[in-house]
Structure 1
Amino acid sequence: MGQAVLSDKELIRAYLSGDEKSFEILLNRNKDRVFGYIMSKVRNENLANDIFQEVFIKVIRTFKNGTYNEEGKFLPWVLTISHNLIVDHFRKAKKMQMVSESSSKSEDFNIFSVLKLMDNNVEDDLIKEQIELDVVRLVEYLPEEQRGVLKDRIFKGMSFKDIAEQEDISINTALGRMRYALINLRKLVDKHNVSITA
């Protein structure tokens, strides 16, 4: 039987046994589908190439460290890796947009108004939901006074007048706390972003 007609599973086994050529065949057989999938989501050839390379670096690492699970088929597994790396990319890009947006808006900026991508795709809801979870987690690191105003304003939708009355402070103080909360939150998002992409 010639190598050209070996299944993906057989090619993977051959590669794991030291046959480098088998991986080349595996890659050539699947690259158009994988690249096409990435391209359909990111719509940018340079970015698609970068993500494509990342995908196959991850595939090789998984093979090398012995954690590849033979239960599933190769292509769906690689497409799942592609999907996750695309989501990671958009999460990072959207977080950075969110941070820069918040610095150019008034104190009343809603930190969860995440910018939409040029073309909506299936990742949008997942990314937005994940960013919200990340930011909610970071809110807990804010000083108590700032955290209180931010939660009242964003989570409860309270007006600054109502927050001021509830806390027995002036409206200016409430605005000031919100402004500092957003400044500190931007710093935390930036810091958090560095740690999740390391």
Structure 2
Amino acid sequence: MPIRTNRGRAAVYRRLWGWPMRSPRHLTVVVFVVAVLVIATGILVPQLTGGDKPGGPAAAASSDNENPTTAPSTPGTTNTPGVTGSASDLPTRITSVPSAPTSAPPDPAALDVADSWGRAWVNHPEGISNEDWLADLRPFTTEEQLTEMATVEPGNIGATKVTGEPKAVESFTSSVQVELPTDDGNLLITVIDTPDGWRVAFYEQVS
């Protein structure tokens, strides 16, 4: 039956507004319904207004963050992804050619070492072992060269004596190449300056 008077309508409104306060259960129901309505509104309104559509402002901002624009290159800078700074921050490349060894008169001590080494080299009595042969050469030889000579069989060396004086072929401040004659051809001996003094670092037989 329709309510036709203002007093009747007011009574109905008071009853509706007072219903939640009649008991805790009624209040809980009202709070739950209101919460559901708020959540539904938060979900439906953005969908209806297109706020989360692809291509919207939020998507554009995300795209800008994921694909940063590479700055245009300028002289003296590098554009390597993830790397910033100028090319001057990189280590300087060496463009100059290392200087050649400095020539110098042969050191008499270097010639003496070459001569002593040569006399130990030709001293290989029959039956001498490689170890004993190298022991005589050790005071005049670098450790690297001794390792190379560890496979040499002394009995296969044809020279048995030195037949002349050592002669410098090339001479620098830190190395001297010496020619030493033997009864089985000449030895070309390279002597270098080490912390322990002049030592033989290389040799070869020449005609």
What is the TM-score of this pair, normalised by structure 1? Answer: 0.20
Normalising to structure 2: TM-score of the pair?
0.19
Question: Which structure's residues are more often strand, by fraction?
Answer: 2
Q: Larger C-alpha radius of gyration, 1 or 2? A: 2
Q: Which has the higher contact order (CA 8 A, sep 6+)?
A: 1
